Amino acid sequence: MKKVLFIAFLMVSGLALQAQEGFRAGINLAIPTGDASDVSGFSIGLDVNYLWSVSDSFDAGIAAGFTNAFGKEIEVPGFGSFEVDDVQFLPIAAAGRFHATDKFRVGADLGYAIGISDGNDGGFYYRPMVGYGLNESMELNLSYTGISLDGGTWSTIGLGFMYSF
């Protein structure tokens, strides 16, 4: 876990040093839904992206991040309980944002989430979102994250905070 967090920190730091404008970084908290809610209670993630202005109302770019979903303790009648390991992903995606108004944005990230935890192969990653600009450099966003895995989908609903540099 410490190695993964260190690698994520290096990735974020490296992007920050390369960015001149359009770089954003943030954090999100999410609640697992569907199959994911059976083994995890909540997740926390780091997000980074770099967006270029394509037009006055549309930005496109790249996005990456790190997500750690904390495993639950599961009770199995007659057998006791066991702790589920944390589930971790490193999503890498193309990003698009449409500025509906000066304050509201809608967009999506599409790409691949690399599975970092043991037994996690990762899968196709999609994340539609709605953002509200608090000011020129801060945004709150609400998102749904889906990762198509073999035999199911890892999905969460999250609330995040992004800061533009």
Q: What is the mean pLDDT of residues 157-162?
A: 98
The whole-model pTM stands at: 0.82
- Over residues 47-71, the pLDDT tens digits come to 999 999 999 999 999 999 999 999 9
- Over residues 86-136, the pLDDT tens digits come to 999 999 999 999 999 999 999 999 999 999 999 899 999 999 999 999 998
Q: How far is CA 33 from CA 65, 67, 129, 143, in A?
A: 20, 15, 16, 12
Mean pLDDT of the chain: 89
- Over residues 22-38, the pLDDT tens digits come to 999 999 999 999 989 99
Give the DSSP letter string of 61-118.
EEEEEEEEEEEPEEEETTTEEEEPPPEEEEEEEEEEEEESSSSEEEEEEEEEEEE-ST
Q: What are phi and psi of 109, to 5 degrees?
A: -115, 135
Tell me what pLDDT residue 21 has. Answer: 59
Q: What percent of the chain has a predicted confidence (pLDDT) above 70?
A: 87
Tell me what pLDDT residue 18 has. Answer: 40
Q: How confident is the model at residue 151 (pLDDT cuts 50, 70, 90)?
A: confident
Architecture of domain 2-164: Beta Barrel (2.40)
Q: What whole-number distance in Å separates Cα of residue 155 and Cα of residue 79? A: 28
Domain boundaries, the chain: 2-164
